[in-house]
Every structure is written in structure tokens, then in C-alpha cells.
Amino acid sequence: MNRDPSPFRTASTASTATSPTPKYANLTASTNLRYSLTRKSIYDRHLNRTKTSELSKSAFAFLFGEMVQYAQKKVYGVQDLEKKLNLHGYAVGQRFLELLLWRDGRTAKRETRILGILQFISHQLYRAIFQKQADTLEKVRENDDEYMISDNDPVVNTYISVPKEMSQLNCGAFIAGIIEAVLDGHCFPAKVTAHTAPNEMWPGRTVFLIKFEPEVLEREALRVGS
Amino acid sequence: MAKKEQASCSSTANLQPTLSQPHPSAASAAPASPQARFRYLATMVVYAVLILNKAGGLIYQRDFNPGLQKLSSNDYLILAGTFHGVHAITSQISPTNDSASSGLEVLESENFVMRCFQTLTGTKFLVFAEPRQPNLDVVVRRVYELYADYVMKNPFYQIEMPIRSEGFDRHLTSYIKPHQ
């Protein structure tokens, strides 16, 4: 793949030069935002460059807030909104899983057991995104196919106060989407939903309920048998 | 304002224990060390917090003392509107030739002191506290900070509208209450 950004250099000089190169002239409009002054796009950077870098929490809060507002314009009802946030998260999760496994390099492992994948999510994935582990990982006692991962103070919800008329809503649906994508990526199809479960210490505690599809349990049973 | 004054007057009675505590160098201006400053905040008595939007409408009102006399919600709106007007006048009229006056900032009376802070966007924060309460500007700044965090970053808040944010309430309480 040709990664040389020189075509764009030609393009941007074209906008100021007196004789524009006709071939790339139509690219000038979008070059300013996408390419920094060094003419290097994010595709030219090494993937590990951002491994330990941090993001401004305020910037993220504003961006996420806008996302919620944008999603709100196009939905009818709380469930629809959560679904939309879940989808946004799903897109992030798909890409993030790829990146995470790539960064693990040779030590990367494909999880084949339910417990393994859940631990991968609550430890590695959570640490990579939020720099902390998920607070608990439990199994739902009544149902064999349900598991819970809880987060005492989800980063996405720090500045969000849900109004009373939408009390069902938890914007952690975004994180639920990320988890769902990672599970799907490992061939553990599941539905993941976010629920508010406050306790005295943590008023914003959120529980991610993971409900696996029946075929996952079937496979698991076969593995245990062997 | 007279009514408000009376309100804080009635509350000073049950605040006496806190007032009688030794107040190290209460009269002197700025505290020397961070520890000294902390001691000031530790004995902080804040009566109420009001937030006004840029049109002079009351968007947030909260009392922090059970002894305060209650005003009707209409009276609070009138109070906010009146203050907004007075603030506008004081920022226009200035004895010096300096045209950029910040307007009314502190209002002191026998029973309470009020500190006003106007942001660059015109939102006003009013904090009512016990008289001779030092470092009120720090308190107002902190309230502004909480507002910027838990109100402005909340996607469900409509700008210029009354604040109904549970997170803001919670953090404001945990900031002001432990000091009382």
C-alpha cells in the first residue's frame, strides 16, 4: 500500500500556487482538517503511539454529550436511544478489539471459554480503555446464560444526570455496545445491556448484563464434556 | 433584600455554637499557609446559593440551612430579577472614569454577606454566607466549577433553563455541607 502522503502535499500547495495541478485540485477542500502541518495522517503513525497516551476527560465528556444529544433527535423513546448508543459503542468495540489483540503481538490469545472472555473484558479491555479494572464480575444465580460486570463509576456517566422522566436510561449503553462487539468478535454472540444499580457509596453504579445466545452455552457444555 | 436579611437574622441563633468557636485571626485578610486556608473552609457557613442566567432569570436556588426563612418561589424570582437590574446599573455607573466596571460584587450587612460572581457569558453566581466569612470568592469559584462540570457537560440540560441535575445537587451538597 502506498502510504506516501505526497499527493496531498501537491494538493495543498495547489490551493495557494498560481498554477494548480489539475489532477488533485479537487482534494484541496478536505485536506486542512485531516492532515496536520507535517502532512502525516493518523494512518502514518505507529499504532502503539497512543497506547499510553491520555485523553482529556472534559473533551470526551463534551463529545459524548453531543453524541447523546444527536442520538436523541432521531429516536422515539428510551429503548431506542439506548439501542442507538449501543450501536455507536459496537463500532468502537469492533475496532478496539482488533487493536488490542494486535498490540498483544505474539502473546495474544484467542479466548474460547466463557470465563476467559469475561475476564479478558473486565481486566484487559477495561484497563486499556479506562485505565482501571471493572469492579465486579458475577454470574446471575437464576440464569445459566447471564453474567454481570459492574462498574462503580462509569467514565461516560460522570457528568450525566438523567432526568426523572427518562429514569430507565443509562448512557452506559455505549460501553455495553463495546462489550457486545468484543464478545461477538470472539464468537460469543450475546446481548449486553446497561442498568443503573446504585448503592450508598456509588450513586452512579452501573451493571452490564450479558446474556449469551443458547449456542454459546451448547458449545461450552461440549467443551466441558471433553 | 430586607426580607432576606431577616431570614439570616433568624438563623444566626442556631448558628451561635459554630460562631463561638475560636476563629484564628478572623479579622486579618488573606490566610498565610494552605493549612490556615483549610481551617477557614472548615468553619465555612454558607446559607444559600443562587444562580442567575444571563437574562436575569433564576435557574437555581438552594438553601443550606434549615433555619432559613423561606421565600415563595415568586419572591425568589423577583429577588433575582431585581439583583440583575441593580447589577446592570452598578456596572454602568462608576465614580471613576473606568468604563469597564465589574458591577456589584459584595453586599455586606449585619447578618449576612453576599458574594456575586459573574462569568464571561453573563451567568451570575450568588453565595450568601455568614458575615465576615473569609474566602467566599474561593467558594463561588468552586460552585462555578461544579456548574461547568455537572450542568454544562450534561447532555440533558437545556441552556438558560432551570437546573435540575442530580449530579450537581449531590456534589454541591458534598462540597458545602461537610464544612458546616
Report pLDDT for B66. 80
Residues B48 and B64: beta-carbon distance below 8 Å: yes
B155 contacts A66? CB cut-off 8 A: yes
Residue B146 DSSP label: H
B165, A161: Cβ pair inside 8 Å? yes
* DSSP secondary structure code for residue B161 in this structure: S
**Claim to verify: residue A102 and residue A144 sit in the same structural domain:** yes
Domain that holds residue A83: 50-225
CATH of the domain at A200: 3.30.1380.20
DSSP-assigned letter for residue B32: S
Q: Mean pLDDT per 10-residue run, chain B (180 residues)?
A: 39 37 40 49 79 93 85 90 92 75 89 92 93 88 94 92 92 84
The least confident of A148-157, A163-172, B16-25, B36-45 is B16-25
The confidence band for A70, taking pLDDT boundaries of 50, 70 and 90, is: very high
Which pLDDT value is given to residue A134? Answer: 92
Closest residue to A203, CB basis, from B153, B165, B170 = B170
Q: What is the reported pTM?
A: 0.75
Mean per-residue pLDDT, A70-80: 89
**Residue A87: pLDDT above 90?**
yes
Q: How many residues does chain B have?
A: 180
Residue-level pLDDT at B141: 93
Query: What pLDDT score was predicted for residue A224?
Result: 77
> Looking at the structure, do residues A13 and A66 belong to the same domain, yes or no?
no
Together in a domain, A10 and A85: no
| Domain match, A147 and A208 both | yes
Closest CA in chain B for residue A65: B155
Give me the pLDDT at residue B180, please.
66
Q: What residues of B are in contact with residue A69 (Cβ under 8 Å)?
A: 155
- Domain assignment of residue A1, yes or no: no
User: How far is C-alpha A142 from the chain's CA centre?
Assistant: 29
State how far the Cα of B25 lies from the Cα of A165, in Å rounded to an integer.
Answer: 50
Note whether B177 contacts A: Cβ–Cβ < 8 A.
no
Note the pLDDT of residue A51: 81
- The answer to whether the Cα torsion of B129, B106, B76, B146 is positive or negative is negative
Are A40 and A116 in the same domain?
Answer: no
Co-location of A198 and A179 in the same domain: yes
Residue A188 has pLDDT above 90, yes or no: yes
Q: Are A194 and A173 in contact (CB under 8 A)?
A: yes
pLDDT for A36: 62
On whether both A148 and A186 belong to a single domain, the answer is yes
Q: How many domains does chain A have?
A: 2
CA quadruple A209, A215, A218, A223: dihedral sign: negative
Q: Cell numbers of A96, please?
A: 478496539
Tell me which of B145, B146, B151, B156 to substitute to probe the interface with A (most A C-beta atoms closer than 10 Å): B156
Alpha-carbon dihedral A185, A186, A190, A194, rounded to 10 degrees: -70
| B166 contact partners, CB below 8 Å, separation of at least 6 | A161, A162
CA distances (Å), A91 to each of A48, A94, A121, A220, B31, in order?
Answer: 20, 5, 16, 27, 53
In DSSP notation, chain A reads -----HHHHHHHHHHHSSS--GGGGGGHHHHHHHS-TT---GGGS-GGGGSS----HHHHHHHHHHHHHHHHHT-SSHHHHHHHHHHHHHHHHHHHHHHHHHHHGGG-----SHHHHHHIIIIIIHHHHHSS--SEEEE-SS-TTEEEEEESS-GGGTT----GGGTT--TTHHHHHHHHHHHHHTT--EEEEEEE---SS-TT-EEEEEEE-HHHHHHHHHHHH-
Q: How far is residue A118's CA from residue A179's CA, in Å, rounded to a whole number?
A: 9
- The mean per-residue pLDDT over the stretch A87-92 comes to 95
- Collapse the DSSP code of B47 into the 3-class scheme (helix H, G, I; strand E, B; otherwise coil) and give the result: strand
What is the pLDDT, as a whole number, of residue A150?
Answer: 94
For residues A13 and A124, membership in a common domain is answered with no
C-alpha distances (whole Å) from A218 to each of A121, A145, A215 are 21, 10, 5
Output B178 or A163, whichever has higher pLDDT: A163
Lowest mean pLDDT, pick from A9-13, A145-149, A188-192 = A9-13
The pLDDT of residue A30 is above 80? no
DSSP label of B65: -
pLDDT of residue B44: 74
Q: Is residue A193 one of the residues assigned to a domain?
A: yes
Question: Which of B150, B152, B154, B169 to mutate against chain A (most A CBs within 10 Å)?
Answer: B154
Same domain as A55, residue A39: no
For residues A117 and A87, membership in a common domain is answered with yes
CB atoms within 10 A of CB B94: 13
Residues A162 and A204 in one domain: yes
Q: What is the tens place of the pLDDT at every residue in A117-142?
A: 999 999 999 999 998 999 999 999 99
Query: Which structural domains are found in chain B, ordered by start?
Result: 2-10+37-179 (3.30.450.70)
Tell me which chain A residues have a C-beta less than 8 angstroms from the C-beta of B165. Answer: 161
Tell me, yes or no, whether A199 lies in a domain. yes
Instruction: Answer for the pair B19, B111: CB distance below 8 angstroms, yes or no.
Output: no
Would you call A161 and B156 a contact, using CB atoms and an 8 Å cutoff? Answer: yes
Alpha-carbon distance B147 to A159, whole Å? 10
**Highest mean predicted confidence (pLDDT) among A15-19, A95-99, B128-132:** A95-99
Whether residue A105 is found in the same domain as residue A30: no
Average pLDDT over residues A82-89: 94
| For residue A219, pLDDT beyond 70 | yes
Report how far residue A80's alpha carbon sits from residue A72's, in angstroms, rounded to the nearest whole number: 9
In the A/B pair of chains, how many CB contacts fall below 8 A? 38
